[in-house]
Amino acid sequence: MVNLTQLPSTVDLSFIAGDTFRIRVRVIDPASGAPVTINPNPGVPGELGEYTFCAEIASKTNRAIVSQFQVSPDPDSPNEAVILTLSKTDTAVLPGMGDGAVFNGVWDLEVTFPNKDVRTVASGTVTCRIDVSNPAVTP
């Protein structure tokens, strides 16, 4: 029996409110399964400028979008990966969208490929817990 699936990888995220959260993502060619080399010079086929990334967090109860990840080339490997980032400001407000102490939601990452194919490559749950420590910030 053959089983074909194009379901995204399950990636559950957990973090503390007020912390910066980053994850590294490599682009995989769905036809070959091999990592795509991303050239940092936009405009040439196969380069980062040819791909569109959308990663968002939604409330588990009503699926309303509550936050969106910033996407940028990985500074350590700009030709092979991107970094998805939630700033400390983005994460700080999430528990207030839950029960005040914990936010429970869902997220996914969609990639639009140069040929305009769209694929959700990762999805899962999001748990954001309220912060305890608040260190003094110096200018």
What is the arithmetic mean of pLDDT over 123-127?
97
pLDDT value at position 30?
A: 63
pTM > 0.85: yes or no: no
Alpha carbon of residue 36 to chain centroid: 18
111 — phi, psi (to 5°)? -120, 130
Residues 6+ apart with CB under 8 A from 111: 27, 51, 52, 53, 118, 119, 121
Query: Which of the four CATH numbers 3.40.50.2300, 3.40.50.720, 3.30.1390.20, 2.60.40.10 does domain 9-129 have?
Result: 2.60.40.10
- Please tell me the total number of residues recorded for the chain in this structure: 139
Q: Which residue has the tokens 């980062």?
A: 48
Of 104, 126, 106, 108, give the one whose Cα is nearest residue 118. Answer: 108
Higher-confidence residue of 69 and 117: namely 69
pLDDT tens digits for 47-86? 556 778 899 999 998 999 999 999 888 888 777 788 999 9
For residue 138, pLDDT beyond 60: no
